Amino acid sequence: MSERKDITRRRVIKSGAAAAAAAGATPYFFTRAFADGHGYMNAPKGDTVTFGFNVPQTGAYADEGADELRAYEMAVEHINAGGGGMLDTFSSKALKGGVNGKTVKFVTGDTQTKSDAARASAKRMIENDGAIMITGGSSSGVAIAVQGLCQEAGVIFMSGLTHSNDTTGKDKRANGFRHFFNTEMTGAALGPVLNNNYGKDRKVYHLTADYTWGYSQEGSMIKYTQPYGWETVAAVKTPVGAGDFSQFITPVLSSGADTLVLNHYGKDMVNSLTQAVQFGLRDKQVNGKDFTIVVPLYSRLMAQGAGANVKGIFGSTNWHWSLQDEGSKAFVKAFGTKYGFPPSQAAHTTYCQALLYADACQRAGTFKPSEVGAALEGFKFDGLGNGPTEYRAEDHQCFKDVLVVKGKENPTSKFDVLEVVEVTPRAKVEYAPSLLGGELGPYNNG
């Protein structure tokens, strides 16, 4: 009786509040990392090590995610075999079959291109499947969310397709590494090409996806076109997945702008570009100039979706299957023979990330995040399709040449939609590590 009296409503509320506070204060992961004495999270036991491939398997980027997964599967085959594809052209020859004497196996998660779903699947792979490293993704929002989680958990995150400056800028983390380029590099590469092709003093209308990548891309385009007298008439944010962009495109007609920059990616890019062409923008003359459209970030998979509308439109890309260096040729041959079509830039960057991680572990002689990270920091390599590349130590961003591409006028196949018009050298797109802000902080080994 007396025991029951102790359980008052006030006490239950107090206990509940304390429990909730404790739960909130407890790190995302309970530390079971040191149980085996290796001193880091998910240290592999036995003769296998598990990679976690976190890609969009459903949702708007599912096709891109499927291509990433194909590339990862092929990367694992090549790592375990000690050769094949770009592993044969990779400048580092550390990998001889497996990693640190262990066979690589993998588990997969579905990001659904949603931050919460991506974090949940990464968490599941780390906690339940013992993934030593998480990699993948097709969105900057997702990449930043998963990168934060991997930092908390104490595993390395090798991001997939993420283009926002923030991933290796204000939101960078010590455990996170990006091979893909960013909007700062896109702007630096595209600005001069646009000026050469369209001339100075243009009036620009920006339609921008309303999330981190969109803001980053818009800012970079304005920054790198302003020196040529390109004036921003308006910069309008559009909801992600708007579908019909007509209400955003019609104001362009009477705005006095002679250039439309579509800071959109994926489905939004396909829709907004298709509709802009339908509204006759490409046939217009404004301020005595031909109206022009720019799509700063291209994806070949998405460009296929936009069909003939991409013809003659400039943009940038991280890699393209038509490149003729030995690495690209080896990758296209291996991928094309296995799957019957050329790989996308998403497939390329994820394949590279898997190889780079495995190679770093092999060179470090361990899977411990801080030591693997140290092996990646400042690592200079070649033979992976982008020419000489460096993983900069200060922000964990890869620096390499940037491709400026244009929608091809006379495609010879459905894959042949983009042509590389300029390879902008690394020196022209490089920036000071402090430019994009943020702090790496210390490594977390779990």
Partner 1 sequence: MDAIFLQVLNGLDKGGAYALIALGLTLVFGTLGVVNFAHGALFMLGAFCAVALQRMFSVSYERINEDKQDFLGNPLKEQISYMVDWVGEDAAAFLQDYSVPLSIILAALFMAIVGIVMERGLIKHFYKRPHADQILVTFGLAIVIQELVRHYFGANPIPQAAPQVVSGAANVGSWVGLGENVIYPWWRLVYFVFSAIIIFGVFAFLQFTTFGMVVRAGMQDRETVGLLGINIEQRFTVVFGLAAVVAGVAGAMYTPVLPPDYHMGMDFLVLSFVVVVVGGMGSLGGAVLAGFLLGILQSFASMQAVQELLPGISQIIIYLVAVIVLLTLPRGLMGRKGVMED
Query: Exactly one of 236, 393, 420, 423 binds partner 1 (CB under 8 A); which one?
Result: 236
Query: Exactly one of 128, 337, 410, 434 binds partner 1 (CB under 8 A); which one?
Result: 337
Regarding 246 and contact with partner 1 (CB under 8 A), the answer is yes
Residues 398-417 contacting partner 1, CB under 8 A: 412-413, 415-416
Stretch of 57-65, 368-376, 377-385, 433-441 contacting partner 1, by CB under 8 A: 57-65
Q: How far apart are CA 345 and CA 317, in angstroms?
A: 7
Stretch of 144-152, 213-221, 302-310, 383-391 contacting partner 1, by CB under 8 A: 302-310
Query: Exactly one of 98, 136, 214, 342 binds partner 1 (CB under 8 A); which one?
Result: 342
Q: How far apart are CA 275 and CA 284, in angstroms?
A: 14
Regarding 39 and contact with partner 1 (CB under 8 A), the answer is no
Size of interface with partner 1, in residues (CB under 8 A): 48
Regarding 247 and contact with partner 1 (CB under 8 A), the answer is yes
Regarding 47 and contact with partner 1 (CB under 8 A), the answer is no
Evaluate the CA torsion angle 339, 343, 347, 353 in order and state its sign: positive
Regarding 244 and contact with partner 1 (CB under 8 A), the answer is yes
Burial 63-81 (b: 16+ CB within 10 A, else e): bbbbbbbbbbbbbbbbbbe
Regarding 117 and contact with partner 1 (CB under 8 A), the answer is no
Give the per-residue contact string, 252-281, with partner 1 (x = CB under 8 A; - = no). -xx------------x--xx--xx--xxx-
Regarding 234 and contact with partner 1 (CB under 8 A), the answer is yes
Regarding 143 and contact with partner 1 (CB under 8 A), the answer is no
Nearer to partner 1, 223 or 267 (CB): 267
Phi, psi of 131 (to 5 degrees): -65, 130
Regarding 378 and contact with partner 1 (CB under 8 A), the answer is no
Nearer to partner 1, 317 or 424 (CB): 317
Regarding 243 and contact with partner 1 (CB under 8 A), the answer is yes
Q: Cα separations (Å) of 167 from 58, 147, 442?
A: 23, 8, 16
CB of 309 to partner 1, least distance (A): 8
Regarding 376 and contact with partner 1 (CB under 8 A), the answer is no
Query: Exactly one of 84, 130, 192, 307 binds partner 1 (CB under 8 A); which one?
Result: 307
Residues of this chain that bind partner 1 (CB under 8 A): 58-63, 234, 236-237, 239, 241, 243-244, 246-248, 250-251, 253-254, 267, 270-271, 274-275, 278-280, 283, 301-302, 304-307, 309, 321-322, 332-333, 336-337, 341-342, 412-413, 415-416
